[in-house]
Structure 1
Amino acid sequence: MDYVKPHAVVENMLAGAAVKLNVPARHLVIRGMLAGAYLGVATSMAVRDCSRCLRKPSCAIGWLD
């Protein structure tokens, strides 16, 4: 991995912040709703998978390898 000077990192962060500052509020709300939906789907899948392994404990042994 190439070394990046801290000053360059800060400049890139400030440039990204300036771009995000101009994003309309409507887009931020849409992005927030989509992020919540993705998290909801991922947690539902994880809980469903874990509950299946609780009924059949031999399924969880594969996680320990």
Structure 2
Amino acid sequence: MQKLDVALAHGELAEASLAALAETLPAADLTPLNRAIDAFDFDAARHAITALQMRYTTEGST
């Protein structure tokens, strides 16, 4: 997720990182991220990544 976040911060898309997330996470969890990317709203996409990181970090530590 970090590589994707950094790319989005620079107005770029790390397609390999996005594809890896798509293989790893449930599609429903990626919907906000995909919608933001489709709308070229990279700030919203970065917020979606942060939410995913928080969710899976929290779930992984319980």
Q: State the TM-score, normalized to the length of structure 1.
A: 0.34
Q: Return the index of the structure with the highest Cα Rg.
A: 1
Highest relative contact order (Cα 8 Å, sep 6+), 1 or 2? 2
Q: State the TM-score, normalized to the length of structure 2.
A: 0.36
